[in-house]
Amino acid sequence: MNLLMVGAGFSNLALAASLKKQELKITVIERRGQIGGNCFDYFDENSIDIHAYGTHIFHTDNANVWRFLSQFTQWYPYQHEVKALVDGQLVPVPFNFNSIEQLFPKQMAERMIQALLSEFEFNRKVPILKLRESKNPDLQFLAEYVYEKIFLHYTEKQWDVRPEDLDPLVTGRVPVFVGRDNRYFQAKYQGIPLEGYTRMFDKMVDHPNIEVRLNTEFDKSMLDEYDHCFFSGAIDEFFDYKFGQLPYRSLRFDFLTFNRPYFQSNSVVNYPNNYDFTRIGEYKYFLDTKSDNAVVSYEYPEAFVLGKNERYYPIINEENKRLYERYLEEAKSNKKVTFLGRLGDYKYYDMDQAVARSLELAKTFA
Ligand SMILES: Cc1cc2nc3c(=O)[nH]c(=O)nc-3n(C[C@H](O)[C@H](O)[C@H](O)COP(=O)(O)OP(=O)(O)OC[C@H]3O[C@@H](n4cnc5c(N)ncnc54)[C@H](O)[C@@H]3O)c2cc1C
């Protein structure tokens, strides 16, 4: 059987890696000059692992996904921490006891911490919606503070939305962590591939049955040459935008090198309330690389414009979901093509979710 995979991102590479032992001939085509999709990375002249499309931290509770990928890489046990510049202080986010103690006067901080401990479970995330429901005025204050200083202006920049258009159910999910765990994720498995993502991807597709063609654009006439196609490009593009474009947010990354050992205190610093960029990522932290230079990227959100920049984040709302459903209906009539991945499924998959989806697909296809 001859399979065509469109897009050499994580989704199709995981699919190819899990199908490669069978008697299938797999051709992966990719319009960019490298594999890995938005997870592509490279080691620069400072030996720093640069994530070309922004900081990527692998985290999952899915043991199957972790074991599957561990066939192709060892991991650096990196635990992600994010800080945000709030009222002149760099504080851990999600907001936790350490953030509270840094920002508020001692007595007030103690009252808040005691109130959190008496109303909620220790070492758990509590959405600010729950804090707002509390009768305790300190917790109500905390909820409003976190909403305004961590979430609101960051979200306005990231999604270009007005506060009144924000769904209260979504905004209410912003968490406060009841404890001192400064980590951004509490997942059981977290890490960065020891030799980088791209090296891991190379190993995933290293098989005589798999051919990868870079700088190759998909064309519908290719479908005739294959028994089945896995399409991880944009589903609206596949159908020539016949129902209209599915909206996305894009980003611009400004990479800068500073001649000093470190630029900032940890890998990602968010700027919710200042500047036009949302965050700065510093890359040497991921594999704890020692270098006299620090490489960072400033991340500026922008509108996605076809032909001008890349699709990064699907804008998931009711209207766009309906539009996607129309494409999905259309897709059902073509049994020869399976859509997958962030662009094919129009879903904001983290890396582990993209891999999990591909492993499931491989099972149904086997
Ligand atoms: C800024 C940013 C930060 C992120 N950080 C994290 C993180 O920290 N942790 C995490 O788990 N996830 C993170 N993610 C999500 C992660 O990037 C995705 O889960 C992953 O890239 C999904 O892989 P994919 O193969 O589905 O899509 P993609 O990576 O988008 O790959 C699709 C590929 O298809 C190619 N293609 C598209 N159309 C065509 C065509 N017509 N012909 C040929 N080729 C085509 C594209 O060029 C691309 O290479 C982040 C995403 C972004 C945008």
Residue 344 Cβ contacting ligand 1 at under 6 Å: no
Is residue 354 packed enough to be buried (19+ CB in 10 Å), middle (13-18) or exposed (0-12)? Answer: buried
Closest atom, ligand 1, to C-alpha of 299: 1
Closest atom, ligand 1, to C-alpha of 35: 49
Residue 167 has a pLDDT of 76
Label the pairing between strands 313-314 and 248-258.
Answer: antiparallel
Q: How many helices (H) and strands (E) does the chain have?
A: 13, 19
Atom 50 of ligand 1, nearest CA residue: 56
Residue 18 confidence (pLDDT) above 90: yes
Residue 269 has a pLDDT of 98
- What's the mean pLDDT when you consider all of the chain? 96
Residue 53 has a pLDDT of 98
Residue 51 has a pLDDT of 98
Over the Cα atoms of the chain, what is R_g? 22
Q: How confident is the model at residue 161 (pLDDT cuts 50, 70, 90)?
A: confident
Q: Take residue 150 and report the two structure tokens written for it.
A: 């961590």
Residue 38 Cβ contacting ligand 1 at under 6 Å: yes
What digits encode the pLDDT tens for the residues 47-82? 999 999 999 999 999 999 999 999 999 999 999 999
Residue 91 has a pLDDT of 98
Q: 325 CA distance to ligand 1 centroid (A)?
A: 21
Residue 312 Cβ contacting ligand 1 at under 6 Å: yes
Residue 164 has a pLDDT of 76
Q: What is the mean pLDDT of residues 79-105?
A: 98
User: Are the C-beta atoms of 256 and 317 separated by less than 8 Å?
Assistant: no
Residue 31 Cβ contacting ligand 1 at under 6 Å: yes
Q: What is the mean pLDDT of residues 109-129?
A: 97
Q: What is the mean pLDDT of residues 171-180?
A: 91
Residue 207 has a pLDDT of 95
Residue 329 has a pLDDT of 97
Residue 171 confidence (pLDDT) above 90: no
Residue 23 has a pLDDT of 80
Q: How confident is the model at residue 165 (pLDDT cuts 50, 70, 90)?
A: confident
Residue 21 has a pLDDT of 74
Residue 35 Cβ contacting ligand 1 at under 6 Å: no
Q: 120 CA distance to ligand 1 centroid (A)?
A: 37
Which residue in this structure is represented by tokens 């650096």?
A: 76
C-alpha 24/C-alpha 16 separation (Å) is 10
Residue 281 Cβ contacting ligand 1 at under 6 Å: no
Q: 169 CA distance to ligand 1 centroid (A)?
A: 27
Residue 323 Cβ contacting ligand 1 at under 6 Å: no
* Ordered DSSP codes for 202-269: HHHT-STTEEEESS----GGGGGG-SEEEE-S-HHHHTTTTT-PPPEEEEEEEEEEESSS-SSSSSEE
Closest atom, ligand 1, to C-alpha of 342: 26
Q: How confident is the model at residue 162 (pLDDT cuts 50, 70, 90)?
A: confident
Q: How confident is the model at residue 317 (pLDDT cuts 50, 70, 90)?
A: confident
Residue 44 has a pLDDT of 98
Residue 284 has a pLDDT of 98
What digits encode the pLDDT tens for the residues 246-297? 999 999 999 999 999 999 999 999 999 999 999 999 999 999 999 999 999 9
User: Are the C-beta atoms of 308 and 248 separated by less than 8 Å?
Assistant: no
What digits encode the pLDDT tens for the residues 215-260? 999 999 999 999 999 999 999 999 999 999 999 999 999 999 999 9
Q: 230 CA distance to ligand 1 centroid (A)?
A: 15
Q: How confident is the model at residue 186 (pLDDT cuts 50, 70, 90)?
A: very high
Residue 11 Cβ contacting ligand 1 at under 6 Å: yes
Atom 2 of ligand 1, nearest CA residue: 54
Residue 366 confidence (pLDDT) above 90: no
| Mutational pocket test of ligand 1: of 5, 29, 35, 39, the residue with most ligand atoms within 8 Å of the beta carbon | 39
| Mutational pocket test of ligand 1: of 13, 38, 218, the residue with most ligand atoms within 8 Å of the beta carbon | 38
Question: Dmax of the chain from CA atoms?
Answer: 72
Residue 30 Cβ contacting ligand 1 at under 6 Å: yes
Residue 218 Cβ contacting ligand 1 at under 6 Å: yes
